Chain A
Amino acid sequence: MIAFLLAQTIAITGGTVYPVSGPKIENATVLIRDGRIAAVGASVAVPAGATRIDASGKWVTPGFIDGAGQMGLREIGAVDNTNESAFRGNDVAASFNVLEGINPASSLIAVNRMEGITTTLAVPTGNLIWGQAVLIDLDGATIEAMRVKSPTAMVADLSEGSKAAGGGSRAGVAQRLRRVLDDAREYATRRADYRRAQIQPLSASAADLEALQPVLRGELPLLVVANRRSDIETALRIAKEYKLRLILAGVAEGWMIAGEIAAAGVPVLVEPLDNIPSYDALGIRYENAPLLAKGGVKVALMETATENTRDLRQQAGNAVASGMPWEQALRAVTLTPAEIFGVADRYGSLESGKVANVVIWTGDPFDFSTGVEHVFIRGREIRLRSRQTELLERYKTLPPKY
């Protein structure tokens, strides 16, 4: 069955295509073959036998990528038994990779992908170092089928949320993170001594120190949650000291130091509608994402409510209303996150050779009047059904048909 579907050739014709990697193309064809995009353009020949989908009057974009949330890791927020995102009891859970906690049968997946979200980052939760986040496609019966990149990033927290791991002080958090990184360096050069216990006690387990090696080598990005300006600056400082590849998430007061973040070449994940002040970020505001982007920072947008990852569309629309150019906002939910997560060779745009995550919309994907007509993940057309559509069918006329 899968082989049959993968072998399908699908031609989406007549739509306004937004490849993201280039300007929009009117009346264009997107050709999908074997799960990949085979061609995109205004003069693409449709092979005989291809399944044609008429997208006249429609908009065609890459599937949206959300770099936040616990998709597959958490079914019901308030029900602990359904939560797999945290490795409890370890402030430095660097070796904790969430992949095998993901439930491909989660009801959240169908609800969100039918609104155009095709790829999400499954992010661990925790204290100082949360563990390894994994990028997944929202289709597939197994974690192997869903996996896009594992690990995608090591996640750490320098916000208010991690203070307990630093003895109750932000300074303690920063010092503890440095000590862990120092110990990981030392561990790498003295593994034999470690095994013979000829080394003073290190600040994390061998497994966690081992897991940090790709971070220290600059191969695996360190995704740091930070919101207060000074916490963002601490993250930039530590990343510079240890030559880390840094991704910043949250970044509520980032707009104050956009130039500094841009100069460091550090990309950010921002939730545009986050604007409620707390002592973690008194300077939080709607215009954060647009101001960061204007300041030259590479900005991806996110929606952090896992069950409503579909509201990434609304987040993007509001970023536009707050001043971000529309094309930049579209990029910020497609190609930019693909770049940040190191998969832009396969994801994020409609280009020949890329994975065929494609959405056909009735119009502007950010606006509420727009509906989703078709979703393709890895070239497979997704049925636009979920538990919610079945509840609708059951109760659309009352009494219900049980």
Chain B
Amino acid sequence: MRALSTSLALLVLLAGCASAGARTTTAAAPAQAAPAAAATQDAGIGPQYPSTYQRHPNSPVLIRNATILTAAGQEIQGGSILFRDGRIVAVGTNVTAPTDATIVDGTGKWVTPGVIDTHSHIGVYAAPGTFGESDGNEATSPVTAEVWAEHSFWPQDPQIPLAIAGGVTTIQALPGSANLIGGRSAVLKLVPARSVQEMKFPGAHYGLKMACGENPKRVYGNRGGPSTRMGNMAGYRAAFIAAQGYRQKWDKWNKDHQGDPPERNLRNESLAEVLRGNIYVQNHCYRADEMMQMLDLAHEFGFKIRSFHHAVEAYKIADVLAREGTAVSIWSDWWGFKEEAMDGIYENAALVQQAGGRVVIHSDDASGIQRLNQEAAKAMYHGRRAGIPVTRDQAVRWFTANPAWVLGLDSLVGTLEPGKMADVVLWSADPLSVYARAVQVYNDGWLVYDRNDPAHQPKMDFTLGGEQP
């Protein structure tokens, strides 16, 4: 009942915060032109704020005799999975353990890829949740494409180990949704670290958080606008028009190097990278009609919206979303906390899946991130009861392979296939059951959580000294 007194405000704050993350592509990200912020690199600045992530050294691990859900079409009974040096080596029923492997008995247990959340504010709205940790909304101007979530992210947020215990291995930490354009996201490996740089997913693209609807007009309605949805649209368009000019200047200079380079502008730098396709648009947008407006906006400026976020009305335009190739990052059952969320239904995920769209179950919530598997289960079973076929493999993809695609990481993580990064969760039971708990969580082969071993239950600095009598 803490929630009774405080969580409404929190809900409005956070739910309103759906933000879009930005990614930068690095050489490691497959199928992505190295975004490498051409403008900034060519300006002689070089790669900015690089990842310093390093894989934790581990012995090989073989989990055997488990039910393995690969999120790549297979459900293997009595299966084994072997990983070494952070990579999955083999998945199947006949896997031999190397002599130096740690053997984990998976009898009665289940295995999935690591859970990926495309929409988190942990780290930027860290616990204990005072003003001191409120770093998610740069609510000083409706367009702040120049801010980067990684510069707010607190790697000692005590919510991080809670999410890890829920099987989460990768997150996109987003700015909030106060602004039309809220800034760049941070795509992070969820591992204990001293700095956000040590968590940055090598090769990930930045996302750009954009927000539709009620939040920007509520925040800026009495502060110079926008105060209407048409004002919102005008704001996005003005920003991208400016970015078009900026991009042209830089592209020209990068080509001919005539004269001094144009002056840098961080806001336009982010937006120009969206126009070049290197930063992915992650768009908080609830209503179907508004998503249609945003698709028009994307057409006007020639970029793609990688994923709508929240999208409680996605089912009303599931056909369009499938055609556009825009994913939806949604809850299973949140609705009703604000007007633009009134039409949420349990079957949203199933209907988008059925139409051929790409579904992601996201959290936008430090509590919900701990059980994305459960939320996917709710959405799957309600879909089935409504007669919409959803396979278990599809439902597992909702919190693994599909969010990996939204972050541009689908060739690296999101499924259990040889060569993929060893982000692996061992569950006590069918992960689509309410009774399942993550027993072990491996991130890049590193055992970052073990339910039965306090030595593998990371604590943040904040939590130290808090042991109770």
Contact = CB atoms under 8 A, between A and B. Distances in A.
B8 interface: yes
26 contacts: A76-B336, A76-B342, A77-B338, A78-B338, A159-B5, A160-B6, A250-B2, A271-B1, A273-B367, A275-B162, A283-B466, A304-B1, A307-B336, A308-B334, A310-B333, A311-B333, A318-B371, A318-B434, A366-B435, A367-B434, A368-B377, A368-B434, A369-B432, A371-B385, A398-B317, A398-B319
A93 interface: no
B337 interface: yes
Contacts of A273: 367, 371
Contacts of B466: 282-283
Interface string B328-339: 000001111111
Contact of A304 (B3, B319, B338): B3
Contacts of A302: 1
Contacts of B12: 77-78
Interface string B1-23: 11111111001100000000000
Contacts of A269: 1
A70 to B, nearest CB: 8
Interface string A218-235: 000000010101000000
Given A304-B1, A305-B3, A76 B339 contact: yes
Interface of A: 68-69, 75-79, 107-108, 111, 123, 125, 157, 159-162, 225, 227, 229, 249-250, 252-253, 256, 269, 271, 273-283, 302, 304-305, 307-308, 310-311, 314, 317-318, 320-321, 366-371, 388, 391-392, 395-396, 398, 400
Nearest to A303: B3
Given A77-B12, A79-B338, A371 B2 contact: no
B139 interface: no
B366 interface: yes
B381 interface: yes
Contacts of B158: 277
Instruction: Give the size category of B's interface with A.
Output: 35 or more
A79 B68 CA distance: 46
A277 B2 contact: no
A278 B319 contact: no
B307 interface: no
Contacts of B317: 398
A321 B316 contact: no
Contacts of B338: 76-79
B433 interface: yes
Interface stretch (B48-56, B80-88, B345-353): B345-353
Nearest to B344: A388
Contacts of A229: 468
B287 interface: no
Nearest to B340: A78
A307 B226 CA distance: 29
Contact of A271 (B3, B315, B337): B3
B222 interface: no
A317 B345 contact: no
B1 A276 contact: no
A239 B380 CA distance: 47
Interface of B: 1-8, 11-12, 127-130, 158-159, 162, 214, 315-319, 333-339, 342-347, 351, 355, 366-367, 370-371, 374, 377-378, 380-381, 385-386, 388, 432-437, 463, 466, 468-469
Contacts of A370: 381
A281 to B, nearest CB: 7
A252 B2 contact: yes
- Nearest 6 pairs of A and B residues by beta carbon: A317-B434, A161-B5, A307-B336, A304-B3, A249-B1, A250-B1
A256 B468 contact: yes
Contacts of B388: 396
A105 to B, nearest CB: 15
Which of B5, B214, B432, B436 has its CB near the most chain A CB atoms (within 10 A)?
Answer: B5
B321 to A, nearest CB: 11
Contacts of A283: 466, 468
Contact of A249 (B4, B6, B127, B374): B4
Which of A273, A302, A307 has its CB near the most chain B CB atoms (within 10 A)?
Answer: A307
Contacts of B8: 77
A396 B382 CA distance: 13
Nearest to A322: B437
Contact of A368 (B6, B345, B433): B433
Contacts of B319: 398
Given A68-B1, A305-B11, A369-B381, 14 more contacts: A68-B4, A69-B4, A76-B336, A125-B4, A159-B2, A278-B129, A304-B3, A304-B4, A305-B7, A311-B333, A368-B433, A369-B433, A395-B351, A398-B318
Contacts of A75: 336
Contacts of B370: 275
A78 B217 CA distance: 14
Contacts of B315: 392, 395
A370 B366 CA distance: 26
A294 B158 CA distance: 27
A321 B437 contact: yes
Contacts of B128: 277-279, 282
A229 B466 CA distance: 13
Contacts of A282: 128, 466
